[in-house]
Amino acid sequence: MTIKEEFEQLPLSWKEAFVPATDAEKAEFANFLDELDRLYDENPEATPARENVFRVFRLCPFESVSVVFLGQDPYPNKDWACGLAFAFGNEDRPQQSLANIFTELELEGFSPKGTSLTGWVEQGVLLMNTSLTFVPGHAELIDKWRRYTSRVLEKLSENKDTAFLLLGSAAQKAVKAKGENVFKAGHPSNLYQTAKKYFFPQADKTLFKRCNAFLKSHGRPEIDWSRTK
């Protein structure tokens, strides 16, 4: 299917989050998806595969989102990018950002296994990038995507019981929400790799545990961060 056809297969709640109900906005977004399809035809190294561009939204219903774990853009490698932010297509060799996230989780007492991260998504963790595609030589797509993904983030932030995990300045700038449901830290690609250090600079050194504490205090299930698949 084309990228546009993949989008049309999404539940109505996600489609409405991406695009307002006006005919002009719908036509503009449809033209953007057509442009993406043309670029994919011209660039065999574009990532992720067409069927995975909206994958996270197929796997995680809008009504089920309890944590938004925000990334920037897909891995620039077709064997790695799979449509879920930070997830890694090669189960045997995680990319460094995910390896650093796993190290932090282990320091907090969790035991993540496997790099697909579908176990997180099944629990309501939306592993979303602000740009859903990577096309070599077309950096302008980043800003084009953010016009639409910013709408999704704004819609998600209307639920004050939803937690936001924002690693790095780009993710933090993308989300306007502020308050006890927003958890910030440095981007994992720049983190220390010494086993005796916590990578994140919060005073209590428990980013994921504090996220769970927030969910619990609002009557939502805690995330089993060890369950990655």
pLDDT tens string 23-63: 899 999 999 999 999 999 999 999 999 999 999 999 999 99
pLDDT at 88: 87
For the cut 60, the answer to whether the pLDDT of residue 199 exceeds it is: no
The mean pLDDT value for 112-118 works out to 92
Tell me what the pLDDT averaged over the chain comes to.
Answer: 90
pLDDT at 62: 98
Highest mean pLDDT pick, 104-108, 185-189, 219-223: 219-223
pLDDT (mean) for 10-23: 91
Q: Are 192 and 168 in contact (CB under 8 A)?
A: no
Which has the closest alpha carbon to 11: 57, 78, 80, 48?
Answer: 57
Tokens linked to 211: 């996220």
Direct distance between the N- and C-terminal alpha carbons of the chain, in angstroms, rounded to an integer: 27
The answer to whether 129 touches 75, Cβ cutoff 8 Å, is: no
CB atoms within 10 A of CB 122: 13
pTM of the predicted model as reported, rounded to 2 decimal places? 0.92
Active site includes 79?
A: no
The CB density around residue 66, as the number of other CB atoms within 10 Å, is 21
Structure-derived torsion over alpha carbons of residues 76, 81, 85, 88, reported in degrees to the nearest 10: -120
Residue 123 half-sphere exposure toward CB, CA atoms < 13 A = 20
Q: What is the pLDDT of residue 14?
A: 97
Q: How far apart are CA 56 and CA 76, in angstroms?
A: 18
Q: What is the mean pLDDT of residues 176-191?
A: 81
Six-digit token pair at 74?
Answer: 């897909």
For residue 110, the SS3 value is coil
Dihedral in degrees, nearest 10, Cα atoms 220, 223, 224, 227: 130
pLDDT at 64: 97
- Residue 123 CB neighbours (<10 A): 17
**Marked catalytic residue, from 41, 73, 92, 161:** 73
The predicted model gives 5-16 an average pLDDT of: 96
Of the given ranges (1-5, 45-49, 85-89, 185-189), which has the lowest mean pLDDT? 185-189
Q: What percent of the chain has pLDDT over 70?
A: 91
Q: Provide CB contacts within 8 A for 72, sequence distance 6+.
A: 85, 129, 130, 131, 168, 170, 171
